[in-house]
Structure 1
Amino acid sequence: MTEVLLDICNAKRQRIAKKGFTLGHVIPYSRTHPIIKPTFPLFIAEVKRKSPSLGSLKDIKHPALLATAYKDCGANAISVLCEEDYFGGSLNDLMEVKKALPEICVLRKDFILEPEEVEVSYLAGADMVLLIVNLFLDDFKKLELLFNTCLKFNLTPLVEVHDEKELEMALKLDIDYGILGINSRNLDTLKINKLNAFILRQKVPSEIPVIFESGIDNSYDAFIVGSVRFEGFLVGSYLMQALNMPNMKQTLFSRLINLIASFKAGAQRDFFYKLVNMFVTKKPPLIKVCGINNIDFALSASKHAHLLGFVLVKSSPRFVDAKFLEKINEYENIKNALKIGVVADKESLKLGLELIKKNLLDCLQLHEAEDLDNGLYFGLDLKEATFCYYKAVKNVDSKDSLLNLLDSSHGEGIEADLDSISGFDNLAIAGGVSEANLESFLNLSPKLIDLCSALESSKGIKDTTKLESFFNKLNTCNCKK
């Protein structure tokens, strides 16, 4: 257990010792509200005053009014943070919300340590109870007791995990009767790693519902969460921060409505699901062959590469148009491959979006997308995007949604500075990777390597011999590991 969690749990035990399991609040002797089961997709919006990572978020005087606004925007469950010392919540908040909204599913989000707290949750009106596996790494029997106590009172346990060890523990429960929540926040560093959460999702049996927790900062995050097959999400801080903005009511409504719409749009796209699945099932790194402008070369590349890239920028010697993409998709191997469109200006962006709509491309790779004025990419708000994209960047930004492709070369064959990029998580590399220096790059344990000029006899002219030679070298390197 981390120091922060240990402090929170110690404070909780001290409160229980002084005030009992009701924590000094007046709880009904019998439950007065019907139990509401969660429905899917599950959109949980949170009443949250503060957190250890962000500090104070908002002084909420009327939790029920906020919860009602959430419901009106499409949330079908409300999370009420009840921890008092570090999050500023209370059981009174939960009871107020449930009294105002008896028809909606309410989650008690707290650091539950004892089965008596589950009974109090039931009496107070909770329909779901959060159980954090990390609190019980050395005491599975206590976790199992809490889980079964939830079932005894007909409450739905939301079992939260952060890593593979915790997931293995959670799966030993009768988890079919509960819900799994994967939290993308590292409890040691408090940093967010969304890709780790997405990879963990792939390791859960398909019949078990899983929701995403922590790390949704915009609508595009929700789009990706939907696309990697989560059954819902829990969002708190992003919504609470809207309450500190000038047009707080309008901002809050638009944020939650857009999150839900983006999640549903993402569920219709499978690029990120397939990509994350390859991160799980394929030997790393994944290989993308980019700048393809020749059908014969494309057919050869499709036998080896995990992703195929096509440059849509007219000024590039590697440029391909819509007719080329239509023609190349007639080949079954290429039709079924993951295809990326490379864009860098307004015209190429327009073409890329048209090709995605026609299902000729799966995703866009965006260049010139750092330090955007007003957050707009050639007039497009990427935070509200409902198409698959990732950025090619000159500097690693570990906070981005899923994948940042570090491209110091832009197709010029300039080698990246290995020292400057070592140690980063979820590293994807383009720029000067070749057969000659492949082993040096592999030592960085990248998730993905993007090849372009290294597979050319001259600029814009792909070379099948170099392609075959590179993958022979890669296979040799992998065999050594």
Structure 2
Amino acid sequence: MVEILKKITTIRKEKIQKLGFSFGHSIPQERIVPLNPPKFANPLLIAEIKRSSPSSGMIGEIKDPISLASYYLDCGANAISILTEEDHFNGSIKDLIQVKNTFKKTTILRKDFLQFPEEIEISYKIGADMVLIIIAMFLEDKQTFEEILLEIKKYNLTPLFEIHTKEELDFLLPYQPQIIGINMRSLHTFSIHKQQGILLKNQIPEGIKTIFESGIMSDYDGYMIGSSGFDGMLCGSYFVKSKNNTITSLIHSYKKSKNPANRFHKNIFKQLANNKPLIKICGITNLDDALLACKMGANMLGFIISKNSKRYIDITEIKQISRALKTLYPEVLKIGVLLEDAKDFQQAKELCEQNFLDSLQLHAPDNLPYFAKYNLLNANFNFYICINYENLDDYPKNEYLPFILLDSKSKEKGGSGKSIPLEALKELKNTGEALFIAGGIGAHNIQELLNLGVSMLDINSQVEKEVGKKDPQKLQEIFEIINNHYQKL
């Protein structure tokens, strides 16, 4: 078991031995409140009463959990999560009893590190409708896990099974779970890895409800969570720390992402879940090159909207190509590529809203998360950023996007033909980050990038016969190398 879990569960076990499964609190002899299983709205938003955590320290003083729960419900939350772990999260069974007794018809999740079958009866009596079961705690204790499942079934509670890894998912699936929460926070480092969590979600069979846990920091997270196919989200720290209508705007962003035409994140992570890199052919300026790249096997096409680029394509041409691709190659994603220009940015956003583009690729300035004076944390459209990368110091420290595209450093900010040094990419790979790579990719170096296990290759100038015009032979050579590589695996 991971060290932090071992520490928490060891302390809990010692307290249970001294105080009993109620941790010394007075609890009802019988359940006196109705049982309310979760109802999956759009989304199921579980708002959390959370005072502190090992990763964040003190989050907020909550003197009146009833008032906070009332605020959550008024803003649109349809379930309340209450931490009852006392030593690391400053929670209490008393909080859960008070909130459930006040909001009898509300779904209440007991969030704790439940270790023993006897704790399920306690959870039922104090008014919990759902219980969190952390799979990492039971990988080496299948018997206890199965005993807990029997108790959950006996009291008709709803389990939210929390996983972090593919190993935990494989352990859980034979038990036919109905709801799985994916925690984006690593139990080893406490860091957030949204990309890994979304990839894990794509390995969960259809029909199982999925909940996004941890790392929610902005409205854009709501949009990204919805567009990635999650059925709900569990959020605590962001709500406790923030003011104003964070819940309302988060729900709005989630719903905005549910446009049937919005397939960007789903397509991206479905491809990555197959352990094959995404291939983007950028600098498309005409329909013939677009169709050729699609025929060869491109997953994404890039259209450069910045007028200063030698590969600029105007809006009318993008629309014409987009219409053709929707008929002939509907699965290929169309990406608008631009530098920080307010007018270009507005036009590109409109193309996304009109479904001519699936996402924007923003070549980032230094003042992220702002772009063209727009706060990207409030975005309700698909985008990712491209940064000029040379070493680990260039990589963003705060992950608020599911992936970042890396390009070589050059005055041109793209399309220079210059490559990122391979050793610099290996160094980043060793930190656990996935590699989404642009810059100078061609037949001369693509094999070594494939050997490195890249997640995305953004190819442009090295497959041109002249600026803005693709070379069929060079494109064919590139795709032959890619196809041969994966046929050998």
Quote the residue 2:124 is aligned against: 122
Quote the residue 2:415 is aligned against: 411
Equivalent in 91, 94, 100 of residue 92 of structure 1: 94
Contact 2:130–2:157 under 8 Å retained in 1: yes
Equivalent in 173, 182, 194 of residue 171 of structure 1: 173
CA–CA separation in structure 2 for the residues paired with 1:325 and 1:22: 64
CA–CA separation in structure 2 for the residues paired with 1:288 and 1:450: 5
How far is the alpha carbon of 1:461 from its aligned partner?
Answer: 2.6
* Amino acid across the alignment from 1:138: E
Contact 1:52–1:87 under 8 Å retained in 2: yes
Corresponding pairs, count: 467
Contact 2:323–2:356 under 8 Å retained in 1: no
CA–CA separation in structure 2 for the residues paired with 1:145 and 1:348: 59
- Mapping for residues 326-341 of structure 1, pairs under 5 Å: 326-331=319-324, 332-341=327-336
Quote the residue 2:364 is aligned against: 368
Contact 2:268–2:278 under 8 Å retained in 1: no
- Mapping for residues 273-292 of structure 1, pairs under 5 Å: 273-281=266-274, 283-292=275-284
Tell me the secondary structure at the aligned position of residue 175 of structure 2.
coil
- Mapping for residues 291-370 of structure 1, pairs under 5 Å: 291-303=283-295, 304-331=297-324, 332-344=327-339, 345-370=341-366
* Amino acid across the alignment from 1:377: F
CA–CA separation in structure 2 for the residues paired with 1:370 and 1:275: 26
How far is the alpha carbon of 1:444 from its aligned partner?
Answer: 2.6
Equivalent in 436, 442, 461 of residue 434 of structure 1: 442
2:460 aligned with 1:469, yes or no?
Answer: no
Tell me the secondary structure at the aligned position of residue 247 of structure 2.
helix
CA–CA separation in structure 2 for the residues paired with 1:471 and 1:234: 42
* Amino acid across the alignment from 2:446: L
Quote the residue 2:184 is aligned against: 184
Q: Residues 192 and 359 from structure 1, CA distance in 2 versus in 1: closer, same or farther, beyond 3 angstroms?
A: same
* Amino acid across the alignment from 1:420: A
* Amino acid across the alignment from 1:185: R
Q: Which range moves more in the overlay, 128-137 or 321-330? A: 321-330
- Mapping for residues 384-463 of structure 1, pairs under 5 Å: 384-394=378-388, 395-397=394-396, 399-408=399-408, 409=410, 410-422=414-426, 423-424=428-429, 425-463=433-471
Contact 1:294–1:462 under 8 Å retained in 2: no
Contact 1:329–1:335 under 8 Å retained in 2: no
Quote the residue 2:247 is aligned against: 256
Contact 1:363–1:389 under 8 Å retained in 2: yes
Tell me the secondary structure at the aligned position of residue 149 of structure 1.
helix
Q: Which range moves more in the overlay, 333-342 or 112-121? A: 333-342
CA–CA separation in structure 2 for the residues paired with 1:267 and 1:115: 39
* Amino acid across the alignment from 1:280: A
List gaps (5 residues or longer) in structure 1: 243-250
Quote the residue 1:247 is aligned against: none
* Amino acid across the alignment from 1:386: N
Q: Residues 479 and 334 from structure 1, CA distance in 2 versus in 1: closer, same or farther, beyond 3 angstroms?
A: closer
Q: Deviations over 1:295-320 (max 9, x none)?
A: 11111101211111111111112111
Q: Deviations over 1:402-440 (max 9, x none)?
A: 010001251111111222232331210001111101122
Q: Deviations over 1:74-121 (max 9, x none)?
A: 100010011011111110111111122112111000000111111111
* Amino acid across the alignment from 2:221: D
CA–CA separation in structure 2 for the residues paired with 1:30 and 1:205: 37
Q: Which range moves more in the overlay, 130-139 or 93-102? A: 93-102
How far is the alpha carbon of 1:465 from its aligned partner?
Answer: 1.8
CA–CA separation in structure 1 for the residues paired with 2:284 and 2:160: 46
- Mapping for residues 72-221 of structure 1, pairs under 5 Å: 72-176=74-178, 179-221=179-221
Contact 2:289–2:469 under 8 Å retained in 1: no
Quote the residue 1:248 is aligned against: none
Q: Deviations over 1:337-359 (max 9, x none)?
A: 11100011222212211211221
How far is the alpha carbon of 1:334 from its aligned partner?
Answer: 4.0
Tell me the secondary structure at the aligned position of residue 68 of structure 1.
helix
Tell me the secondary structure at the aligned position of residue 77 of structure 2.
coil
How far is the alpha carbon of 1:480 from its aligned partner?
Answer: 4.4
* Amino acid across the alignment from 1:285: P
How far is the alpha carbon of 1:231 from its aligned partner?
Answer: 0.6
Q: Residues 196 and 94 from structure 1, CA distance in 2 versus in 1: closer, same or farther, beyond 3 angstroms?
A: same
**TM-score normalized with structure 2 length:** 0.92
Contact 1:369–1:391 under 8 Å retained in 2: no
* Amino acid across the alignment from 1:397: P
Contact 1:430–1:449 under 8 Å retained in 2: yes
Q: Deviations over 1:122-175 (max 9, x none)?
A: 111111000000000012221122122112111111111111111112112142
Q: Residues 142 and 369 from structure 1, CA distance in 2 versus in 1: closer, same or farther, beyond 3 angstroms?
A: farther
Q: Deviations over 1:24-67 (max 9, x none)?
A: 00001111110111011310011111111111111211111111
Q: Which range moves more in the overlay, 392-401 or 382-391? A: 392-401
CA–CA separation in structure 1 for the residues paired with 2:121 and 2:266: 39
* Amino acid across the alignment from 2:437: I
CA–CA separation in structure 2 for the residues paired with 1:455 and 1:18: 70
Quote the residue 2:2 is aligned against: 2
Q: Deviations over 1:450-481 (max 9, x none)?
A: 00111112322322221111112222333444
Contact 2:199–2:272 under 8 Å retained in 1: yes
CA–CA separation in structure 1 for the residues paired with 2:333 and 2:467: 24
Tell me the secondary structure at the aligned position of residue 172 of structure 1.
helix
**TM-score normalized with structure 1 length:** 0.94
How far is the alpha carbon of 1:335 from its aligned partner?
Answer: 4.2
Tell me the secondary structure at the aligned position of residue 277 of structure 1.
helix
CA–CA separation in structure 2 for the residues paired with 1:336 and 1:38: 35
2:43 aligned with 1:59, yes or no?
Answer: no
